[in-house]
């Protein structure tokens, strides 16, 4: 896996499920969620086409279609999140705190 911030490779032993920091640049990273609706609709279409090609038609398409949909969805999730995860810099977790500049205290003047 490659850090998107510094471009160096992160060893699998450094990957944590809760919080991931690059051990070299010490930057917080988060997993990119891929797919969404388009992937779900594509997997559903592929499952229906596969069942139809095997010869399942009509109302009988429902149960095998759902099973094939769940199987293809699990395989898709396995490959996109376990084997080839993509990470990006996490903007919500940063070591940089905003510096607040207070106006000078008027009561301390002589």
C-alpha closest to that of 72 among 53, 51, 52, 44: 44
Tell me what percent of the chain is helix, strand and coil, each rounded to the nearest 5.
45, 10, 45
108 pLDDT higher than 60: no
| DSSP state letter for 82 | I
pLDDT tens digits along 31-88: 777 777 888 888 889 988 888 888 888 888 888 888 888 998 888 888 877 777 777 7
CA distances from 87 to 52, 62, 72, 95 (A): 37, 36, 23, 18
Please check whether residue 79 is in contact with residue 62, taking contact to mean a CB–CB distance below 8 angstroms. no
CA 4 – CA 29 distance, rounded (Å): 8
């Amino acid at each position: 896996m490659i850090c998107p911030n510094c471009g160096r490779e992160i060893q699998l032993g450094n990957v944590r499920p809760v919080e991931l920091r690059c051990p070299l640049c010490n930057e917080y990273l988060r997993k990119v969620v891929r797919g969404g609706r388009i992937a779900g609709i594509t997997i559903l279409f592929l499952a229906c086409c596969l069942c139809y090609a095997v010869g399942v038609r009509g109302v009988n398409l429902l149960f095998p279609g759902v099973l094939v949909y769940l199987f293809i969805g699990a395989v898709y999730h396995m490959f996109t999140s376990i084997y080839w995860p993509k990470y990006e810099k996490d903007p919500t977790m940063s070591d940089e705190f905003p510096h607040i500049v207070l106006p000078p205290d008027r009561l301390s003047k002589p």
